[in-house]
Copies of this chain bind each other. A is one copy, B any other.
Amino acid sequence: MSRRSDVLTLAVLGLLQDSPMHGYELRKRLSGTLGAFRALSYGSLYPCLKDLLARGWISESDQAAALPHALSGKRARIVYQLTAEGKEHFAGLLAQTGPSSWEDDDFDVRFAFFSRLDADTRLRILEGRRSRMQERLEALAQSVVRARERWDDYTLELQKHGLESVEREVRWLDARIDHERHAGTARPVEPDPHLP
């Protein structure tokens, strides 16, 4: 059985949505492009792929060894691709707006795949995350007030730093929410000052 963490499943299926990939490449993208999974080990990834294969969400690619130096019939690489059921399952997982989707890792991965969601679902996830962060903010603020009396300057400084991090996160979420609300009405695409 070994029901792999849904968030890793989501990330892998999401990356395979773009193009088929082998494990080694997947790991690099997981570590690079998604905020979570800074350094996921192969000891986690390969068993997960095995699992997704067994559930029929991915399959070994029929395009055998299309991309690289195809010498003999030997292929060291195993290229995986999404199945139809895999695409379905990914869409279902991604659109889940329940409490799990406001947790740190889950939120990050979902946000990275936001372009695959409709505007309503995007907003619901952003607002859920915002209220989650607001809770955390209030708990921390209380804690800082108590820290003023009980603890030394270092502990207090640590608390304030943590508090400011969450405040920043809330402001960022506000900007994202604002963007979602106005994107459909005023300007469909935001002008990019960094264009060449």
Contacts and interface: CB of A to CB of B under 8 A. Distances in A.
Size category, A interface: 20 to 34
Contact of A115 (B114, B152, B162, B165): B152
A168 interface: yes
A168 B147 CA distance: 23
Interface stretch (A2-10, A40-48, A153-161): A153-161
Interface in A5-51: 32-35
B32 A154 contact: no
B114 A162 contact: no
Interface of A: 32-35, 108, 111-115, 143, 146-148, 151-155, 157-159, 161-162, 165, 168, 172, 176, 190, 194
27 contacts: A32-B143, A32-B146, A33-B143, A33-B147, A33-B151, A33-B159, A35-B158, A35-B159, A35-B161, A35-B162, A108-B158, A111-B154, A111-B157, A111-B158, A112-B154, A112-B155, A112-B158, A113-B154, A115-B153, A115-B154, A148-B194, A153-B190, A157-B176, A161-B172, A165-B165, A165-B168, A168-B168
